[in-house]
Every structure is written in C-alpha cells, then in structure tokens.
Amino acid sequence: MDLNKTVGKPISRLEGKLKVTGAAKYAAEYQADNLLHGYVVNSPVTKGKIINIDISGAMAIPGVIQVLSHENRPKLAWFDLQYTDMDAPPGTVFKPLHDENILYNGQPIALVVAEDFETARYASTQIRFEFEEKNFQTSLDQNIGEARAAKKGFATALKPPPPPPTGDFDEAFANAAVKVEAEFHHGTEHHNPIELFATTTVYEGPGKLTIYDKTQGTINNQLYVANIFGLRYKNVRVLAPFVGGAFGSGLRPQYQLFLCVMAALHLERNVRVVLDRKQMFSFSHRPPAIQTLRFASDINGRLTALGHRVLAETSNFEDYTEPTASWSHRLYPAPNTLFEQKVVPLDVYTPMDMRAPGGSTALHAIECTMDELSYKLKIDPLELRLINYSDMDPSSKKPYTSKALRACYLEAAERFGWDKRSPEPASMTRGNKLVGYGMATGIWDAFQFPARVEAMITSDGKLVLNNATTDIGTGTLTVMTQIAADELGLSIEEVDFQYGDSKKPFSMFQGGSAITSSTGVAIVIAAKALRKKLLKKAGEIPHSPFHKIAEEEVFFAAGQLCLKSDPGIFITLKDIIAFNNGRPIKTTNMGKPHMLKLRKYSLATHSASFVEVEVDKDLGVVTVTRAVTAVAAGKIINPKTAKSQILGSMVWGISKALHEETIMDTNLGKYINTNLGEYHIPVHADIGELDVIFAEEQDELINEIGTKGVGEIGLVGMPAAISNAIFHATGKRIYKLPIHFDELIG
C-alpha cells in the first residue's frame, strides 16, 4: 500500500513563490490592448439629489474619452428580482449611476474614462456638481428608536433570526442568585484587504466579455454581470486566480465591477477600474452594534437565564443582518432564555459579512459577561465554562456531530500556564506593568455548500481538476491538491488543480470557512467516480489481470492501479490512457451536504483562547504579550496553512480589541479616518508570542473527509479573552471595542 499520503502534512503553499516574487497577477495587473482607465467620482454629500453636472472641464483635458453619470449612462437590463447576487440581503440592491438620488456619503456618482489612470484621476477633479442636500441620520446611538426586525430574504437560511424564548426569562433573571447585566458597544470596522478592489474588462466583441475581478465568487459575479447587462451567461467569463485578501468584502460584486463593465460595453473597449484606498471605505464594513446581555446563575455557577438583545446598523435600502443574539445558547444551556435582534436603518452603505460575521461581535459580549459572572461567583473563569459545558447544542437540543471543546480548554490552559494565574484583579505585576490573564470560548458554524468538480487523467498520467472556486489567500490550491493526490495515489507534482474561473464547474463564493468542506468533498466524490472508470477501462485491456476485479480489491499508488492481493501486479495510469487511444478519462460530479442525515445534528467548530496582557501603570498602554488558541475543527488537511489561518485570525482579534475602528462624523455623515494611517491596524511590534493547538477531533458524520473550516474560528474568542485579561490586570471592565488606553488611566 502507498503510505506517502499528503493529507495531514504541513506542505507549503504551492503558489507561494509566485506571490512573493511578484509573478502572480491580480485583477489590476492583466494587460489588454488599447486599455482605457476609469476613475470613480464619489459623492461628498451624504443624502440628497444631484441637480446639475458640468463635465466640460474634464472633457477638455487631452486623453479623456468619456464621463459617465446617471445623465448619460447606457440603458441597462436591470434584473428586477429582489436579489442580484447570491449574497444579497433583503431590500433594493444598490444600483450605481441609477438616478440623481444620493443615498450615502461616498456613493459613486460618475466614472471618468481616459487613456491613462493619472489623466482620469485628474479629470475627476474638474467635474462640477450641484447638489440639493437633505437631512441624514448616520448615528446608531441617536436612532435606537428606529430599530425594527429585519426583513426575511434569500439569505435567511444561512443567517437565521434568533430562536424563540424559552421558560420565563424575566422571572428567572429577577430572582436569580447571581446575575450580570451589561451593555456592549462595538465600533464600525472596514475590511481593508491589502489588494485594492479592481476590475479589468476585456471586450471580446458584442455582448462578450472576459473579466478579471477581485472577488470571492467568480460565478456569483458572472451571474450578476449577465443579469444586470442582459448578457448570455456563457458570454461572460470572470477570472480571479489570485486574490489579495477579502475577508468577506468580495462576497458581493462591488461597484467598480459594474462601472468597468458598463464602460467597456458602452465604449466597446477594454477598460480597467481600480479603487484607491479611500474609496475602499465607501462600501464593505462590519456594522456597529449595541448589545445588552443579562446572564444569571445559581450559587454554584450553573446558568439559569440567558438574555441577549442586539441593535445593529443597516442601510436604508437593504436589510443586512447577521446572527448575533443566538450564539450564547449554542454554547451554554439555560432553561430560561430571551434573544432579540433588530436593525436600525441609516443613511450609510449596506454593511457586509466580515470575518466571522455576527460571531465575533456576539462572542465578545457573551464571553465578557461570562467572565464578569465568574468574578461575582468567585469561580475560576475556566471552571465556570466547564460547569456549563454541554455535549449537545442547547439551542436545538441536537448533538454536535463532534465537539472537542473540552480538550481545547484543557490543552490550551496547560500550554498557557493558566494555573499560575492569581485570581485577584490587579494582583500580578511585571516591573511597571500590570499583568492580566484572560480566556474565552469560540464557536463558529461548520458550513458546507454544493460544489461540482471535473476530474480527469491525462495522457501523461497526471490528474487535472477543475472548479470555479477562488483562493483568497487561505491555501485552497494547496489543500485541494493534497486531497486529490491522496485519492488517486499521486504525488503533489502530478496533480493540477485549476480554479478561479467562472467557466469551470460550479462553486459557491469562498466564505464562511466552507470551501475545504465543499470543494474538497466534491473532489473526493469525483475521484471515486474516476477510480471506477479507470478500473473498468483497465479491465477491458486484453488479458488484463483487472478483468472483473471489484473496487475493493485494488488500490491506487505511485501513478499505478495495483492489486491488493499482489501489489506486484499493476498497470500505470499512463498505460490505461494509452489503451483509451490517448484520450483523457474524466468525470464531473457534485458534492453536497447530507441534509437528511445532518438535520439530526448541530454542526460547529470550537475554540478556546488564552491571553496574557501587560498594561502600563502610568500610560494605560496595553500589550498582548502572548496568546494560545486551541481549535477543534475535525480533520486538519494541512497543519501549516491551517495554523496560518488561526494565527491571522488571532492577529485580527488583537486588532479588533485594541486598534481597529472607523470613525463616523455624524455631523458630516461620513467616515473621517479613511486611510491606513488613521485606520489603525497592528504592526509587528503589537504582536507577541502566538501559539496554536489543534485538538484531536474525529468527525465521521459531518462530511466525506471529516473537515470543518478554520478561517474564522481563531478570531471569535480573542477579543473577549483580551478584554477579560485587561480586567484581570486592572480591575476595570471596559464594555466597548476597541479599548483605548485613556479608558485605563486613573
């Protein structure tokens, strides 16, 4: 038997060299003949109407080809259904340059197209607009009275409303032995992937386009473009082989895609549109939220009541919402619960999914409330979690397909040295620094989406796979190659996984930590079908030892089909294809969740984060000196890329807790720190010693390969663990994110 398996090995990214040497091409780097460049003009007005546009100054500049606005844009075949893409929330989708109305500050109101980028950008400053301004509301805090339930829509299945109440929460909370009530405020965050949003549209002829786009879903954007512009699906090809980060911002088609395609079709030219960093703040953000939590327990620490109320921002034209209020009951059992979630419509762009949407916001409030409860009970925070541990999902009364959270707690606590913690706040010091230990639990969904994969063996005996998924930097190419190599007994070098192309078989967008369990399962299904075809063809060869041999009697290794009873009897894959007259043997198959079987279970990944902070006694400056996160996510296909995902999430957790926030000036109705100089993110000096543990977790139920995603689970527990560590260090409980040093002084 072939023991040279690649699954489970820490293999470096296969595309790594291309990326670090600059050979990998991103959306704004594809060249096309006679390429025009577009520059977007954004509204300085938050709400109102465009009364007049004077483009004469821009058009007088040599090299300017056209200025497109609502006044002269071509007619469009707007897709009149409620949704124009697979991730659209309920409401009326935003339509760039649709009419004179201004819905939010930064809205695109014109596109300048010129022979080069610099000319287009300069010409944009020469356009004169007249506006009729209207009163606007952009403050969540000032509009709480406008809160309402979100409308239901296409995405409700993935983003369900909070579960109904159980028991009598009000009575249980009022009469509880120990209880905590707190209000948490979370600021706005913008995605800010390092690659700017960009689209290069190659005009191939009337109604036919090749589009290089920054996206997490090639097919999603293909459907969007075809529907909006009334084109045939087969005549729209979207490619995104390399994506420089997205974190959810690329799930929906962004407006530069629309504007670029519109210009290319109108001018019948190749066009590129690249947004600058400031324009990246004109869409794509995690919404601010206000959460009120009320937790109660008996004197021994067992939870008796869980209450969670959420108010979050949405736009005035779409009802974006994300599951936030329900997470506590998926972690902790309590007989009396009350969960409420509402949205507040404001004059802003629609928020978007941002790494662990809902979960990262919820878990901060939940785990800080649990921490506060532990201090009131005088019970160790870890012990309180163990007292309330449940092997079942308390919210659904269903067992998890697997849950190794207890192992996460214990292994991370031991690695971290939790037993060295002094329970009393502000009791641990290191020189002029207060030292604090904090911990928190993490949970995230274990999604799987349908996916289709074409698999073929070529004349040189190599395995080629095709699927439309993207790789947004998670290691998808490498992991899929590993899965496929093991299924056919091949080396990594003998597998070619081709992706990032809407012409390839179906894939959902890459999001929700779902692609390994989606495309990976499809690869396994396709590989099984391919093995059957190869064995059948081998049996057709005259005098073949594989004639009428059953599948269970053979195995694939080293590019060969071998008999289990006598591995010395084999035939190479090359020889099988040669017998097939050199034609590839291929198959296309769908992988999908086992809905009937899985409806009896709850599906989730789990984690535990432990953090040490130092807080300067005089300045209040917080440093995360070290952190350990343990993750239970089923089978880990590649420990190296998986660890990188968790480390990246932990860094983001530090950023969310201490740095990252977009500031809205509610008098102007605009964000005022729209650059990476003032939108603070961590630098190397902010990151201490980070460690990752993967707890052993065998899941035979969840899918054919036993995997759960690792993209988001490393983030959800970190902000709360940091907040809890700060309380332990200082004795001050801060109920907002991010935490600023001035709140810890005095």
Backbone phi and psi for residue 158, each to the nearest 5 degrees, phi listed first: -85, -20
CA–CA distance, 575 with 405 (Å, rounded to integer): 49
Backbone phi and psi for residue 421, each to the nearest 5 degrees, phi listed first: -70, 130
Residue 659 pLDDT greater than 80, yes or no: yes
DSSP 559: T
Q: Give 126's Cβ-side CA count (13 Å radius).
A: 16
Do the domains at 31-135+193-276 and 145-189+286-447+599-744 have one common CATH topology?
no
Q: Residue range 87-100: average pLDDT?
A: 91
Residue 293 pLDDT greater than 80, yes or no: yes
Residue 157 pLDDT greater than 70, yes or no: no
Residue 2 pLDDT greater than 50, yes or no: no
Mean pLDDT of all residues belonging to the chain:
96
Spatial CA neighbour of 59 closest among 129, 122, 131? 122
Q: Percent of the chain having pLDDT more than 90?
A: 95
In the three-class reduction of DSSP (H, G, I as helix; E, B as strand; rest coil), residue 191 is classed as coil
Decide which of 3.30.420.40, 3.90.1170.50, 3.30.1490.190, 1.10.10.10 is the CATH code for 31-135+193-276: 3.90.1170.50
Whether the CA torsion 231, 233, 236, 240 is positive or negative: it is positive
Using CA atoms, how far residue 247 sits from 39, 137, 215, 471, 709, in Å, is 24, 28, 11, 12, 14
What tokens appear for 199 in the block? 């689209």
Residue 82 pLDDT greater than 60, yes or no: no
The reply to whether omega before 738 is within 30° of 0 (cis) is: yes
8 Å CB contact between 577 and 463:
no
Predicted confidence at residue 450, as pLDDT, reads: 97
Q: Residue range 314-339: average pLDDT?
A: 96
pLDDT tens column, 723-737: 999 999 999 999 999
Q: Residue range 428-443: average pLDDT?
A: 98
pLDDT tens column, 535-544: 999 999 999 9
pLDDT tens column, 443-456: 999 999 999 999 99
Q: Residue range 494-523: average pLDDT?
A: 97
pLDDT tens column, 683-701: 999 999 999 999 999 999 9
Predicted confidence at residue 80, as pLDDT, reads: 54
Q: Where are the domains of the chain?
A: 16-22+449-592, 31-135+193-276, 145-189+286-447+599-744
Whether the CA torsion 598, 599, 600, 602 is positive or negative: it is positive
pLDDT tens column, 595-627: 999 999 999 999 999 999 999 999 999 999 999
Return the amino acid letter for 612. Answer: E
Predicted confidence at residue 88, as pLDDT, reads: 87
Predicted confidence at residue 488, as pLDDT, reads: 97
Using the structure block, give the residue that is written with the tokens 């043997």. 585
Class in CATH terms, 145-189+286-447+599-744:
alpha beta
Please count the other Cβ atoms lying within 10 Å of the Cβ belonging to residue 135. Answer: 9
Q: Residue range 464-482: average pLDDT?
A: 97
CA–CA distance, 472 with 355 (Å, rounded to integer): 13
Q: Residue range 430-448: average pLDDT?
A: 97
Spatial CA neighbour of 241 closest among 551, 510, 584, 53? 510
CA–CA distance, 507 with 518 (Å, rounded to integer): 8
Q: Residue range 254-283: average pLDDT?
A: 97
Topology classification of domain 16-22+449-592 = Aldehyde Oxidoreductase; domain 4 (3.30.365)
Predicted confidence at residue 86, as pLDDT, reads: 84
Q: Percent of the chain having pLDDT more than 70?
A: 98
Give the distance, in angstroms, between the CA of residue 407 and the centroid of all CA atoms in the same chain: 26
Q: Residue range 197-211: average pLDDT?
A: 97
Predicted confidence at residue 1, as pLDDT, reads: 41
Measured N-to-C along each axis, helices 218-229 and 255-267 cross at an angle, to the nearest 10 degrees, of: 50
Q: Give 160's Cβ-side CA count (13 Å radius).
A: 10
CA–CA distance, 526 with 635 (Å, rounded to integer): 20
Q: Residue range 171-189: average pLDDT?
A: 98
What tokens appear for 178 in the block? 């120990």
Q: Categorize the per-residue pLDDT at 322 as very low, low, confident or very high, splitting at 50, 70 and 90.
A: very high
Q: Give 665's Cβ-side CA count (13 Å radius).
A: 10
Burial of 464 per CB tally in 10 Å (0-12, 13-18, 19+):
middle
Residue 32 pLDDT greater than 50, yes or no: yes
8 Å CB contact between 689 and 625:
yes
What tokens appear for 438 in the block? 């904090």
Predicted confidence at residue 154, as pLDDT, reads: 60
Q: Residue range 136-141: average pLDDT?
A: 98
